[in-house]
A = this chain, B = another copy of it.
């Protein structure tokens, strides 16, 4: 037997018990006749005490233990004279009477501590050592719990977890597929799923009624920070439901997860239309932990001789409460922020509401009375700072969204321990692509229009809203879904609007369209980004930390050094050859 207890469970009530522990040497402190060793395992740290007076030979042995050695120790639990209140085992220590080195360790390339000296690349290369750090392990423990809570809730609510295949068929629509050459079907390829979308819809046709899966999905995209080529979704679908049923069901899931994982009671998740989100926050995923919504000054700020405003499509203001004391330097810094190429504003107008009245960067054009109207419009009071951007409406909304979030962070309004979930609904069904000169589905081609908008599909497709919904938490899109089209003629119309010929539609989605001819029920679904959800629960911005073995921005696993070359024999078996050329 390697252990009677873990390194996290002994307490004062165990004093005088003979125990065996196993774990890693996390560190030691040598005081001459006395040496202390911290023994670590997944469950905690327990102090081992070695005393010259009790056992000199053992003390010498203990001094030889290197960091990260794996040892087994026998001894008796004793009360500590110098208690450590920071750890649950801090009241006790083990008076060791035997040590066995189970394995030695080289000196780790970085320290296994909270504030490690290892850089990102080094920690990824030695991920198995990085994972020994408590904070990293705790993130994956959270992931484990959230997965189990999710399954628990969905199972209890009648959902069946069904595994859909990983080796499927490539479809050109959407992001780029990873493909898998088939040896047995020469010259043919499987594709890895970007999502189980079609399979879950087929399960609805099959009468499965309620489906879920926590499932790996794959996208061969150029990776930005925090995008992974393989990622995990909580994927769900239901039959005989309308939007309201879906929102209620998954509002229940969100509440369950917050309660179980965070101990938080979420009452009701508010809803906001896409149009309102864009108008008031300049974003389809507004962070509603704080206000600072947009105010449109067009009526009151145009025609005063300030050319920039006069030539703008929209003049948008936000009111930063209590920020009237911002220094010139601070405001300049905000101006520099919005002028960065990624944001692209030309400048930033400000108006302070100080004790001694209103003062703005455009006093030359606007009288105190004018500025008073701005203040009224923005509900600004003494002590507040009004910030204004103008220009093309859409661009200005986006710029103002960035400024709002930046200021929100600066003013401490975006506390990671506060959670404000939100349903965003009534998205446009279609997006016009200037380059391709055609509509694309904003969600995907199976998304149903809002029932009241179906009649506008022919006359004014751009005005049609989708029966779709996103779950946004703290400004992060955590999930999204839609009511699906289950009627073949409506589906055909959609394909036509999206510019598919019937042949193309048949080739790409034929098996789904054929299935829809055999009694497809009304159905709807949703998928949540599981990596993202976990990082949100963990209060972190990085999804990579919540993945046990993540890949870097080039899609490489630094630890196992994948991808890698394969043998000529493997290529021959797959009827493939590599043609490295200059690519366009």
Output the nearest chain B residue to A244 by Cβ-Cβ distance.
Answer: B1
A517 to B129, CA, bound (A): 11
Q: Is the CB of A128 within 8 A of B202?
A: yes
Q: Is the CB of B164 within 8 A of A563?
A: no
A572 to B564, CA, bound (A): 19
Question: Given A103-B522, A575-B581, 6 more contacts at CB 8 Å?
Answer: A2-B240, A106-B517, A128-B203, A181-B181, A188-B563, A188-B565
Size of the A side of the interface (Cβ < 8 Å), in residues, is 124
Output the nearest chain B residue to A562 by Cβ-Cβ distance.
Answer: B169
A155 located at the interface, meaning its Cβ lies under 8 Å from any Cβ of chain B in the complex: yes
User: Which B residues are in CB contact (< 8 Å) with A85?
Assistant: none
Q: Is the CB of A207 within 8 A of B24?
A: yes
The stretch of A76-84, A309-317, A378-386, A548-556 that contacts the partner chain: A548-556
User: Which B residues are in CB contact (< 8 Å) with A186?
Assistant: 580
The list of the 7 closest CB pairs from A to B, nearest first, reads: A105-B519, A131-B206, A169-B562, A188-B563, A2-B240, A182-B563, A42-B209
Q: Is the CB of B131 within 8 A of A185?
A: no
Give A65 Cβ to nearest chain B Cβ, in Å: 11
Q: Is the CB of A131 within 8 A of B549?
A: no
Within 46-71 of A, Cβ neighbours of B (below 8 Å) are at 68-70
**Listed A/B pairs (10) with beta-carbon separation below 8 Å:** A42-B209, A105-B519, A108-B518, A128-B202, A166-B166, A167-B563, A172-B567, A184-B554, A185-B556, A188-B563
User: Which B residues are in CB contact (< 8 Å) with A169?
Assistant: 557, 560-564
A350 located at the interface, meaning its Cβ lies under 8 Å from any Cβ of chain B in the complex: no
Q: Is the CB of A570 within 8 A of B170?
A: yes
The stretch of A139-147, A257-265, A363-371, A419-427 that contacts the partner chain: A139-147
Give A261 Cβ to nearest chain B Cβ, in Å: 14
Q: Is the CB of B518 within 8 A of A129?
A: yes
Q: Is the CB of A187 within 8 A of B562?
A: no
User: Which B residues are in CB contact (< 8 Å) with A182?
Assistant: 555, 563
Output the nearest chain B residue to A547 by Cβ-Cβ distance.
Answer: B163
A199 located at the interface, meaning its Cβ lies under 8 Å from any Cβ of chain B in the complex: yes
B232, B518, B567: the one within 8 Å of A128 (CB):
B518
Give A143 Cβ to nearest chain B Cβ, in Å: 8
Within 301-342 of A, Cβ neighbours of B (below 8 Å) are at none
A41 to B515, CA, bound (A): 17
Give A234 Cβ to nearest chain B Cβ, in Å: 13
User: Which B residues are in CB contact (< 8 Å) with A203?
Assistant: 128, 131, 548
Could you mark each residue 512-525 of chain A with 1 if its beta carbon is under 8 Å from any beta carbon of chain B, else 0? 00011111111000
A353 located at the interface, meaning its Cβ lies under 8 Å from any Cβ of chain B in the complex: no
Q: How many copies does the complex hold?
A: 2
B103, B192, B519, B548: the one within 8 Å of A180 (CB):
B192
A578 to B576, CA, bound (A): 5
Give A507 Cβ to nearest chain B Cβ, in Å: 10
User: Which B residues are in CB contact (< 8 Å) with A486?
Assistant: 102-103
A103 to B575, CA, bound (A): 45
The stretch of A88-96, A214-222, A399-407 that contacts the partner chain: A214-222
Q: Is the CB of B168 within 8 A of A519?
A: no
Q: Is the CB of B520 within 8 A of A557?
A: no
Could you mark each residue 407-432 of chain A with 1 if its beta carbon is under 8 Å from any beta carbon of chain B, else 0? 00000000000000000000000000
Q: Is the CB of A189 within 8 A of B563?
A: yes
A178 located at the interface, meaning its Cβ lies under 8 Å from any Cβ of chain B in the complex: yes
User: Which B residues are in CB contact (< 8 Å) with A563?
Assistant: 167, 169, 180, 182, 185, 188-190
User: Which B residues are in CB contact (< 8 Å) with A280?
Assistant: none
Output the nearest chain B residue to A132 by Cβ-Cβ distance.
Answer: B207
A141 to B561, CA, bound (A): 40
Q: Is the CB of B519 within 8 A of A68?
A: yes
Q: Is the CB of A2 within 8 A of B242?
A: yes
B22, B70, B209, B511: the one within 8 Å of A561 (CB):
B511
Give A269 Cβ to nearest chain B Cβ, in Å: 21
Give A19 Cβ to nearest chain B Cβ, in Å: 13
